[in-house]
Structures are given as structure tokens and as C-alpha cells.
Amino acid sequence: MIQATKPSESKRRITASAPGGIGNIGPALDVLGCAVAGARDEVTVAWRDQPGIEVAEAGHPDLPRDAARHTAALAAAAVLRRADAQRGLTLWCRKGLPLSGGQGGSAASAVAGAVATNALLGNPLDTDALLASCLDAESAVAGRHLDNIAASLLGGIVLVRTLDPIEVIRLPVPAGLILVLAQPAQRLTTVESRRALPEVVGRGDVIHQIGNAGAMVAACYIGDVALFGRAIDDRIAEPARAPLLPGFLAAKRAALGAGAYGVSISGAGPSAFAVVSDDAIARAVAAAMRAADGYYTGVPVDEILRKENFLPYLMNGVPLPPTHGFPLRIFIPGKYGMKQPKWIESIEVTDHWEPGFWVDRGWDKDARMRSTSVIDTVAVDMTIINADHRRLVPIGGIAHAGARGISRVELQVDDGPWQEAALRTPLSDLTWVVWRYEWPFDHGKHTFRVRCYDGNGTLQIASPSPVEPSGATGLYSRTEMF
């Protein structure tokens, strides 16, 4: 709902702010709209001595200062005309809502501009006249529809029955209704999005839309959030617009999988919204939608805050290449890659456990790296003759245990005793450790096995297990004929 500051005694300056919202809710194209708490657009107006409207601040570098193309200025001009006020006006705009984001930004600017101007005049216009003034502005920029405007001005959920004459009905908001908005890094103008709408639709789709739009209204009156969510199933606008929205269908699947009652496009897009009724589910749905491919993961705070962790954003002095995780990746020594995601878009602290993409698919929730060691070479061609004239063959490889480090590596030949290998000082405590053992050469067929101890002295697990779900275990062996 609109908010306006009280005028000063001189009544020379007024500031009003208006919320964004969701238009075209589900199947109710241009009919149902809903205001959303959070970001707002703000407009300040003041009289000026010269005639006409001046946009002193457009609110964003990409918005025009031309009063004939800015919705706040257009709405303010419409209010002046309806009030028969022959005065000049200056506007200062502040955009809190995204541009071309599907969250009713142009409508919110129009509403804030109209209400501030009306207040500066002493509020001569009623609600219908304000709606008409905002509709004039929106028609010039984004098309003639009232769902976002009415929601921004009146608050809550609104139903637009007709535009000529204007008739808007406020619907009760179901108790417990929570809307989760996901905003991608994309702009999509209403004009472009409306171009994708079909000129002709089938009878079955029309019947489906009418039934679900009616169910949404019924859900509002009976307070059924689950019904409201199921009823946002849209078979006309959503299928036509989805190809314009990379990642939308994946985000929708992820949100439904996380417990949302329903998911659809917010307004003309590119934002999407999900319907839930529980705070914990809302957080899970938000996390799921935030990842374009449904990928997210959770790591305990105490593990994230360890000093060895870091967030790479440069590689060789330049931004990470896309294949290496642009714009950001995380390095958590001691965790497998499923807990070290690339392509990070956001990081948040939560008060509850979020399992993550791979854990949902049966993988280990801790992803703690197993101690591992391998034999890379049995270098017969690099034989060493020692002081006793024994022929020694260098055998070498690497060992790793994540952040725990490696304290010892041992080699076994055939079924003989385990012999300690020499360790090269690693480049850091977090890198692989290179090991080497000089084996007294013996003709014939031999099997070599290697094992390691981590920095805590814990021996590598010898019993074999597959990669899924917690990482492979077992000892590496290699058989050679000499």
C-alpha cells in the first residue's frame, strides 16, 4: 500500500513510496495482482516556478529524465490534468525495484508519483481518479493494464473486473500466505514479453484458466493457501513466456521439489514466484530457486569460518574463466567438490540445516575427504645403484587427506611387510604430498600396494567401497612384470 510523508507546513514538498508486486498472477492475466512487502519506489515532488514537469532525478541511470517517458512524471501530469492544476512540478525519484524485473516497478513509480502529487494538491482526487491517472502513465510505457497499479495503490490482493469503467475489488489475503520471489540477472520489458503471448488459445486452455482463476478467488475467501498455490497453474502466458526466461523451468522444478504449492512467472517476467505457507519451507524454496540449475549446498558455519578456506574470484590476475567458476567459487580443504561449488551467485547464513543438491540425491552430507594414496610410477628406467651395488627402482606417487595433511606413507611389495616411504615437503599444508620409495629390484611379477596416514595419525581405510555416497575407500595396487 502507498505511503506518503506528511506535508511540511508550507506544503511545498511531498514524498511518497509504493511497493512492487506480482501482476498476472498465474492464470489471471491482467486480472489479479498482489502487492509484495520489501523493496519500494519513492518519489518526491515539489512545485516549480516554470510550467511543465521536470525530472530532476530519474532514479536509475537507465531511466529517462524526459517527463514524457517516465511513469512517475506521466502519472503526476495526469493528476494535474484531472485536478485542473496549472502548475509546474519537479520530481526526484528513487528506484528500489528492479528495472524490467517483473515486479511492478513502472507501476510503483506511477503510483508514488500520482499520490505524492495528489497530496501536494491537498488530495482532491479519489482512488478511482488516481487509478486512472496511473493507468494513463502505464499505458504510455508498458501497456494498458491495471493489476500491478491497483495492487501497489490499494495493497493486498486485487481483482480488476473492468478498465472501462474502472472497477477493482480487493480480495482477502489468506492467512499464512508467503510469496517467495526469485529475481534472475536478466531484464525483460513488458512490451517484449507481451509480444510472446498467443493471439488464439484453445477452448480447453480457456476453461482451465477460468477454473483456476475462480479457484484463486475462492482460496482467498476460504483462506486456503494450498489451493491458492495449486490454482496458479497457467497454460497460456507461462508456456509462451518460458522460452524467454533461461532457468525458469529449472527454478520451478526446484521450488516444487522443496515444498512450494505452486510456482509461476511474476508479472511479465523475468522474476518468478512461489507460494508457500511456512517460514522454513519458504527459506528452502528460496535457496532452491536461487540456483539456476537447482544447485545449492549447505556447510556448517564453524567449518566455513576456518582460516584455510577462501573464495577465489581471480585466476592468474584476471576474473575466473567461466569453466573455472566465474564469478566466484569456494575452496574448502577437506571437502569433496560437491561442497565446494563454482559459479556462486549468493551466500547466506541460515538458522537451519539445508542439505543441498547432492545430499538430496543420496550423497554424504559432510563430504569429508577420505585419505587416499596412489602409485604414479615404478621407474625401472631410472634404476639407482647404491653403495652396496644393489639395484634400486624408484617408486613414487602422491597422497592426500585434505586439510588434515599426510604424516606417513607406506609401501607393500607382494605380501611382505609395509615399508615407510620418504615424503617430500609439500608446497603447503593443503596440497598433495609426493612420496618416494626405493625398492630393491627383483625379477618376476610383483604387486605393489600403498597406504597413508593423515596428519592425525589415522590410517587410510583399507576395505573397498564405491564413490557413492561418501567417497571411495580401499588401497591402490599395481602389478608389474620385470
233-263 pLDDT, tens per residue?
A: 999 999 999 999 888 898 898 899 889 999 9
Domain boundaries, the chain: 3-169, 178-290, 300-350+363-368, 372-481
Do 111 and 78 contact (CB within 8 A), yes or no?
no
C-alpha cell belonging to residue 448? 605393489
Tell me, which fold does domain 3-169 have in CATH? Ribosomal Protein S5; domain 2 (3.30.230)
Based on the number of CB atoms within 10 Å of its own CB, is 224 exposed (0-12), middle (13-18) or buried (19 or more)? buried
Task: Write the CB contacts of 148 (distance below 8 Å, at least 6 apart in sequence).
Answer: 20, 21, 22, 23, 33, 104, 106, 107, 108, 138, 267
C-alpha cell belonging to residue 295? 544447485
pLDDT tens readout for residues 444-478: 999 999 999 999 999 999 999 999 999 999 999 99
- pLDDT for res 344: 84
207 pLDDT band, cuts 50/70/90, is very high
Whether residue 2 is predicted with pLDDT greater than 60 in this model: the reply is: no
Under CATH, which number does the domain 178-290 receive? Answer: 3.30.70.890
- pLDDT for res 168: 97
Q: Do domains 3-169 and 372-481 have the same CATH topology?
A: no
Task: Write the CB contacts of 417 (distance below 8 Å, at least 6 apart in sequence).
Answer: none
Dist CA 442 CA 446 (whole Å)? 9
Give which of 373, 371, 397, 376 is closest to 471, Cα–Cα: 371
Tell me, which fold does domain 372-481 have in CATH? Immunoglobulin-like (2.60.40)
Tell me which of 4 and 113 has the higher pLDDT. Answer: 113
- pLDDT for res 7: 47
Whether residue 10 is predicted with pLDDT greater than 50 in this model: the reply is: no
210's enclosing H/E stretch is helix 203-222
C-alpha angle 322-327-333 in degrees, rounded to nearest 5: 95
pLDDT tens readout for residues 257-266: 889 999 999 9
Q: What is the mean pLDDT of the chain?
A: 91
Task: Write the CB contacts of 361 (distance below 8 Å, at least 6 apart in sequence).
Answer: none
| DSSP character at residue 122 | T
- Sign of the C-alpha dihedral, residues 190, 178, 251, 260? negative
C-alpha cell belonging to residue 62? 537507465
- pLDDT for res 347: 85
Exposure class string for 447-471: b at 16+ Cβ within 10 A, else e: ebbbbbbbbeeeebbeeeeeeeebb
Dist CA 477 CA 464 (whole Å)? 12
- pLDDT for res 9: 39
Whether residue 89 is predicted with pLDDT greater than 50 in this model: the reply is: yes
The position carrying cell 492475466 is 29
The helix/strand/coil state of 401 is coil
Dist CA 85 CA 256 (whole Å)? 52
Dist CA 14 CA 46 (whole Å)? 7
